[in-house]
């Protein structure tokens, strides 16, 4: 898929970031993963990001990422663009970008490099190396130890036509305003803060036209209703759903570090979709927390 077409497709709707399923030995469970992806595409999303943060891409080996991406492309790639992850340091991210293109992915999500801090010049070199290694459209994730300043984003957009998007995981209003003012519609802007629904309405005013929905994994109809209300700027509907579901959900999610992923798999278990367990260093919800989540989910399903 040409990069410009990928960006145009992703702009049209909500973005799915599916979990990655593991068996009892915490190995990749491809049949369950494929079943989940097939179900996810029934409701109508603009793109599917395999092995991202919600998909525990940080815990997958490069070989597992390749298996996850190939399964996703084979299962749903004809119906929805599949965006593959590129993780870790520059050499590893380049290898994964090349593998994603060979696997037939429609695009690439470049996640922050592992552990090390870096200057803006270093981040430019990192992103540039990945963009040069592939013909795929690249979305870069600004978060953690790889927060991109406005001048950095502008420089990268000028140098690399296949850089098509910026996923924001920071939520800094001034930085996003500066970035949009400098770069404008040259890029697609994706909301990428944990539980992106919480920030979706205010970020819409900053040019962030879509976002990654982890909730879509287990309450897809609710997630799409919420997205439609955001796009319509229906404040009453948005804040009603925030109060009824999203904020109480956040209260459960915030009980332990790492629960942003764990609670999604717990949500799948709640609705009978068998999300299974998370890999260490993440931990699963306690039985009591699972019960609290089930009571909340009952209100919107």
Query: Is 299 one of the annotated active-site residues of the chain?
Result: no
Query: How far is it, in rounded angstroms, from Cα 111 to Cα 116?
Result: 13
Clarify whether 114 is annotated catalytic: no
Which of 33, 141, 211, 259 is flagged as catalytic? 141
- Residue linked to tokens 């060979």: 102
Q: In degrees to the nearest 10, what's the CA dihedral of 48, 52, 55, 61?
A: 120
Give the 3-state secondary structure of 81-140.
CEEEEECCCHHHHHHHHHHHHHHCCCEEEECCCCCCCCCHHHHHHHHHHHHHHCCCEEEE
Q: Is residue 79 classed as helix, strand or coil in its secondary structure?
A: coil
Which DSSP letter does residue 284 get? P
Q: What are phi and psi of 77, to 5 degrees?
A: -60, -25
CA–chain centroid gap for 239, Å, is 23
Helix (H, G, I), strand (E, B) or coil at 292: helix
> Taking Cα atoms as reference points, which of 166, 167, 110, 168 lies closest to residue 136?
110
Quick count: other Cβ atoms within 10 Å of Cβ 243?
Answer: 10
Q: How many CB atoms lie within 10 A of CB 244?
A: 14
From the number of C-beta atoms within 10 Å of its C-beta (0-12, 13-18, 19+), residue 27 rates as: exposed
198, two tokens:
């919480």
Q: Annotated catalytic sites, by residue?
A: 141, 167
């Amino acid at each position: 898929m040409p990069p410009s077409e990928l960006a145009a497709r992703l702009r049209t709707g909500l973005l799915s970031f599916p979990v990655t399923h593991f068996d009892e030995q915490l190995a990749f469970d491809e049949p369950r993963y494929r079943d989940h992806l097939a179900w996810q595409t029934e409701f109508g999303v603009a793109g599917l990001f395999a092995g991202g943060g919600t998909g525990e891409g940080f815990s997958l080996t490069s070989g597992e990422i390749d298996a996850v991406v190939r399964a996703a492309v084979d299962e749903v790639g004809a119906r929805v663009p599949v965006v593959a992850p590129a993780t870790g340091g520059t050499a590893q991210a380049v290898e994964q970008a090349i593998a994603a293109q060979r696997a037939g992915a429609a695009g690439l999500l470049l996640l922050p490099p592992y552990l090390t801090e870096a200057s803006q010049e270093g981040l430019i070199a990192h992103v540039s190396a990945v963009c040069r290694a592939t013909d795929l459209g690249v979305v870069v994730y600004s978060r953690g130890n790889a927060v991109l300043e406005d001048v950095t984003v502008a420089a990268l957009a000028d140098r690399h036509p296949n850089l098509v998007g910026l996923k924001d995981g920071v939520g800094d209003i001034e930085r996003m305003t500066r970035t949009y003012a400098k770069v404008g519609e040259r890029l697609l802007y994706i909301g990428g803060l944990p539980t992106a629904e919480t920030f979706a309405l205010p970020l819409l005013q900053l040019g962030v036209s879509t976002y990654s929905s982890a909730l879509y994994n287990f309450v897809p109809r609710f997630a799409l209703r919420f997205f439609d209300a955001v796009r319509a700027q229906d404040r009453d509907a948005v804040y009603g759903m925030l109060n009824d579901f999203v904020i109480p959900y956040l209260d459960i999610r915030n009980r332990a570090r790492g629960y942003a992923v764990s609670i999604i798999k717990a949500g799948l278990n709640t609705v009978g979709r068998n999300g299974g367990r998370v890999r260490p260093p993440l931990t699963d919800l306690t039985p009591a927390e699972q019960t609290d989540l089930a009571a909340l989910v009952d209100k919107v399903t």
